[in-house]
């Protein structure tokens, strides 16, 4: 009886790099990598030669110079005498802020609209279809202008809150809605670590508590799921989760003296509290409602990708429609929803560069706008902008891909 065995291995020859299938793909990849490296080296040398011909050179020393301009809304300390690097950090933080807020709001709007688009109620279904078709077919730039114009024209100015003849008043004496923005109470700590006034360390501790509460709640929920799989009975998780989320924060607030700074009208404007500027609100809402329409279509497609037999089987077990959607349909639809959702999050982050239109100081407005014009360092500023958007986009993709992988079906 004869057996089939692999042919004897001969000595390695250079021709095998192209003729042998074991090495051919690797050889082609190495050749492509070398060609790309040579092309990049040629482009860089050409750029350097042209810059030298005009007496220019690539230098990032300008980042240490004084910025010389003010920024209307900052989350960190900043003055006109701060460096260009700090101004860039202010722009980065403002970009991340509006991108995060818009991603959360757009997701909520998109999920609600996507589910209601499949409602049995004719009026609700048509209203959601109207929302989707209107908002996704008009450029986001126009929605930014519309929302910003509505805010600045219809809302009262701070002077209209003044005196006995005031035409406007604060909501609950806590919130002021003006054409310059919304003023809300701002939290602060009267005691900090070491007995002094509250500082950034307090807020870092709050973030640490929130992170701990998040992972603690995930642990409680995962433990309840394991018990349910083993015994068929799911223990209650509402009370433990509420305790994990709120008890540490309440204790921390009592120990370090949490107080609220209420906005007050002083002079020609409000002072105190937290100001959410009109440019931020306009950009936030425009990105949310625009991208939410696209996410709604992704959600609708994901739900329709789930077999109707799943709904019928769950209904046969006596499960209510709302529970069927949240426990049976949406968890399976996420496998279809998440991949296009990643693209929508990336679009939100990149579309935030339109903030310069309404005067919101994001990274494009600071580093790619004012700093570039003042210093004349166009190449350096553009390279830094490209690096920032590349890094943030790759980070979002990596995080969402990890989540997408966790939602895949796991075969036994």
Q: Are 404 and 342 in contact (CB under 8 A)?
A: yes
Rounded (5°) CA angle 214-349-344: 80
CA-CA distance, 63 to 66, in Å (whole number)? 8
Over the chain (412 residues), what is each successive 10-residue block's mean pLDDT?
A: 53 72 80 93 86 78 86 83 90 92 94 89 91 91 91 84 70 82 84 59 82 89 86 84 88 83 81 85 93 93 85 84 81 86 92 88 89 87 91 91 77 56
| Integer Cα distance of 356 and 346 in angstroms | 19
Q: Are 95 and 73 in contact (CB under 8 A)?
A: no
Alpha-carbon distance 192 to 258, whole Å?
Answer: 10
Q: Are the C-beta atoms of residues 306 and 329 closer than 8 Å to each other? A: yes
Give the pLDDT of residue 186: 82
pLDDT at 200: 67
What six digits make up the tokens of 109? 């709007």
Write down the pLDDT at residue 390: 92
Give the chain's domains with CATH numbers.
115-152+277-359+397-412 (1.10.3720.10)
Predicted local confidence at residue 287, as pLDDT: 94
pLDDT at 197: 53
pLDDT for the residue numbered 12: 67
Task: HSE, CB side, 13 Å, CA atoms: give it for residue 391.
Answer: 8
Find, among 186, 350, 188, 178, the residue nearest to 281 by Cα: 178
DSSP annotation of 271: E
Whole-Å CA distances, 337 to 121, 133, 330, 399: 24, 19, 9, 15
């Amino acid at each position: 009886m004869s057996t089939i065995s692999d042919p004897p291995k001969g000595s390695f020859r250079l021709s095998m790099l192209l003729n042998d299938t074991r090495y051919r793909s690797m050889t082609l990849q190495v050749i492509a990598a070398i060609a790309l490296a040579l092309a990049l080296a040629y482009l860089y040398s050409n750029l350097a030669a042209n810059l030298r011909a005009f007496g220019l050179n690539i230098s990032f020393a300008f980042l240490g110079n004084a910025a010389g301009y003010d920024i209307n809304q900052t989350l960190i300390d900043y003055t006109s005498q701060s460096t260009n690097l700090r101004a860039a950090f202010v722009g980065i933080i403002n970009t991340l802020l509006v991108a995060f807020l818009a991603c959360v709001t757009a997701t909520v709007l998109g999920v609600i609209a996507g589910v209601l688009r499949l409602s049995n109620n004719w009026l609700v279904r048509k209203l959601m279809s109207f929302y989707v078709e209107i908002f996704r077919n008009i450029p986001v730039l126009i929605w930014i202008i519309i929302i910003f114009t509505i805010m600045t024209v219809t809302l009262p100015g701070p002077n209209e809150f003044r005196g006995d003849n005031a035409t406007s008043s604060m909501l609950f004496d806590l919130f002021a809605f003006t054409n310059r923005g919304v003023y809300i109470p701002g939290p602060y700590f009267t005691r900090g670590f070491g007995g002094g006034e509250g500082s950034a360390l307090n807020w870092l501790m709050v973030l640490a508590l929130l992170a701990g509460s998040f992972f603690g709640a995930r642990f409680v929920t995962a433990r309840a799921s394991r018990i349910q799989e083993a015994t068929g009975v799911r223990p209650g998780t509402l009370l433990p989760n509420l305790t994990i989320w709120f008890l540490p924060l309440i204790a921390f607030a009592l120990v370090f003296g949490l107080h609220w700074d209420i906005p007050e009208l002083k002079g020609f404007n409000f002072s105190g509290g937290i100001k959410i500027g009109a440019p931020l609100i306009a950009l936030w809402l425009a990105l949310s409602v625009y991208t939410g329409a696209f996410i709604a279509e992704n959600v609708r497609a994901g739900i329709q990708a789930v077999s109707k037999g799943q709904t019928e089987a769950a209904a046969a077990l006596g499960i209510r429609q709302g529970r069927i959607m949240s426990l049976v349909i949406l968890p399976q639809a996420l496998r279809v929803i998440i991949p296009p959702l990643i693209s929508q999050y990336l679009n939100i982050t990149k579309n935030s560069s339109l903030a310069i239109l309404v005067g919101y100081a994001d990274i494009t407005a600071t580093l790619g706008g004012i700093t570039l014009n003042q210093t004349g360092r166009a190449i350096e500023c553009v390279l830094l902008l490209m690096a920032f958007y590349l890094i943030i986009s790759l980070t979002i993709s990596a995080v969402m891909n990890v989540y997408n992988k966790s939602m895949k079906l796991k075969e036994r």
